[in-house]
Structure 1
């Protein structure tokens, strides 16, 4: 069948697309915010309109038929075109007023961005900032944010990125914690009360091991996925935690644990290519790029 010659309702096509991507009617209904029976009727109506089965319904759930696989490529292209149209329409705004969503890690959002946003508001009082503090990368294609600050360079072709600096982090602890460690501190510290992370502690341990700090699970006395809580635990004397050096060195209650053992990477400012056509987004993007470049150049000195 020539799918390009078929005319059908976009709501039905979107129901089919999300169901195919999610793998089940229940997951697709949750993603679209509709009831499962409603979604099922939309998919069934599309199958009836096309006079062909798009899914095989068996014990393992829904699986695409060959006709469904053929249709998926066309509908996916329609979805991408609809997303691009929405982004382009947003990009037509020319006023430096209105809301803008900025996504950043908890540490960046709490310690670095507030004075920068204050200066942004003084220069552009019509801009209202929604600051998304999350340690997970925001999906810019789905408009989770207009601008993101990330510690990795994006690979998606429809995103643009500008490197604004680099960061260095190291371990800190209160003096009473350091007093319990061997002196002089051995090159490879195999024990000590460390503060770790709940969901990615294995990756954290791997990164530590690459710097010669080889730990076991029992060496972690506390864990949290919040970097802000991680730092507050460090300041409270619960254990050894990590912080960017310009922030950790400024804290009078803690000291560096190691000398010469740093963790670091580049800092990137990211936005969707279409949103850069928006004067408000472009202006804030350039403002943040200049401010963050200044901040990280100072932290390196």
Structure 2
């Protein structure tokens, strides 16, 4: 396939025997697409490599040269729908990427006879299109067309053109921070607000009925998360989590993976009162999110 030359709008074209042919999107390497209110020039590297500063549109006996800095995408021709009482120079409206875009007449051409392509352009925040039978590359040019865009005639035509979509920021995604750890041979998590502190591996002191450990001047009871989760007792020494319970408690775990942000929409609550409060979609398997209230109750 000939080299694909990108346009700012996310599409591309290739020259085949001197004729610009749109490149199917599935043939392009995937990359993020963005929409901009103002046109962007072709990437400088591509422009230098291809030696393209302007595009020459030809339609039957008419021709027009436009600078590549205005070009956005090359579409297959879609016959415009005429608009009643539209000013001279307006052929009608075509749907491009699902949006109505005015199609202007190519100077000297009679309508859109022999048109095979539509070149979408953006100027002054507006989008519009020009019909062409073929599009050729030029190293430079298009100054006359740029000057015409500043005329009163062009202003009256562009006033009918819709504004190009702005580069709107995506709404922020609501996240929940989870403390990931393993215990009883399972990977589980707790909401970050349920964990007061993470203690390094140590050996709790045995006492009648259980064990205790000190943290910040307090001697706190220690529970083992392994048997609570249906697994074997945790091998000592082991890290501990201080739980946000009252009174305070420490919990033995096998390892602590850290804090991860998970989209709130990917955390699905289960029935209330159980040890597993929710399942989070994280990694290859659902991640159980434990209930700190259930952990604080005696086993």
* TM-score category, normalised to shorter length: under 0.3
More helix by share: 1
Structure number, greater radius of gyration: 2
Higher relative contact order (CA 8 A, sep 6+): 1
Counting strand residues as a fraction of each chain, which structure ranks higher? 2
